[in-house]
Structure 1
Amino acid sequence: MTVSTGFNKKIQKWVLNEHGEVAFQPFKVDGNPYKSKIFLVSSTPEPCLSVDPHDLRLHIDSLADSAIFQELYFDELKSSSREYKGCLNFVAWAKEQLGENVVLSYINCLYTESPQQLKLLKKQNDPIYHRGLEVSKLVLNEFSPKILIVQGTTAWKYFLERFESQLIDFNSKDLTVQQLESIGTVAKLQLENGDVVNILVCRSMGYFGKGGTSFTEFKNALEQLL
């Protein structure tokens, strides 16, 4: 998918830091994110990319086109984690079984090389850490999905730090992600435009495998919401 000129300008504001360098990944999808009903949210973007400023337009196009993304970042993707590969398996399952193009997004959209680096930036109250949080909020409100899935214990912890006070009908804080996974909608979140997003939680997608055999209850709950 080639991103329109207007949308390209908006995404540039999301991906660049104050020095004009690519520092954030706001989303990743294979198609038009405005038509996607499902967000799959991790703690931070993976893989951590170093983008050539001369490739900015192509990089932005790649965020909405998996073939371009695969070609541009083939080497980085080879070393991606089991969790990231599981996210891609879930995306493939949702497209095949539900007819949905899932948007990958993040609690904090800042590229970091390790969880320890993110924790350090948070401890230092670094402005770039807070910008990463702000970008995630801008993206969520821009695309207004129907369903937001938080995958993994770490992402769920960060999600609660960020949004717990804004959640509606939430009374399952003390449950594990595996327990929450079987519930279906665990809470709702109202966006700035008034739309309400259903919040689902699941284990790390590293456990999803090819078809999510052990995620049957979760998949059934998801299908019922669509």
Structure 2
Amino acid sequence: MVTAAAAVLTLAAASAYAAPSRGRGIASSLSGSSSMSFGLALITADQKDLNSVIDHYGGTNPGLKNIGSGLEVFAEYAFRFDRSIYGLVFRPSYFMQSTDGKCGSGSCEYKLNGLTFFPMLRLTPLENDFIKFYMQAGVGYGNLKASVKQDSASGDFSGSAFGGMAGIGVNFCFTESHCMTIEGNVRYLPIERNTSDGVSGTFDPNTSGFSQFERGREVEYNGNDLSTTLSGIQGVLAYTMNF
């Protein structure tokens, strides 16, 4: 659904911008303004399979909490075409999510770290000197790595996938160059399969919650591929500099 929205916006931008740019040359068609943004985001990435592992292994000690929302830091470059509502956005981000505490007879730690990159099409239909309201959508890529520790056993696994993102945002510009940005996005980026990068010790299939966790093989929970995700509802707060 998010990917379809991105395709519709891209076709709309192409048809709207192609007509007035005929015969003007490449240099004139690419004129416009640029901006850089730096921000933080919270995302409701529900790691349901890992949380089921946590519940299975740490069930005797409810002091270990499930993995909650994730935190992202990102940078962004945006280019807006001259005399147009259309622009292009390129956004890389670094994702973090974790929980730790006592479980079973010892301690446990679950950490996830990942990278995403999303090119997006942005439309700015409403604006004045102070407020700029925009919509955006795009297709991107994400890679997620997890580190797990259960007592004396530890291991890493990772996976990657393509996905889509769409949302709306507002720039509150206090000067022509300096703005505060607030966004709400929906991202769809599930990672259905993860492969173990390394294991120390043994994850007992009867007690660990993992039915398979061996180096070089797919990680499994309850006899099925263990999935992770970079999907969720995302809230963004950022600083934007126009130039």
Instruction: Give the alignment's TM-score, normalised by structure 2.
Output: 0.20
User: Which of structures 1 and 2 has the bigger CA Rg?
Assistant: 2
Structure with bigger helix share is 1
Higher relative contact order (CA 8 A, sep 6+): 1
Structure with bigger strand share is 2
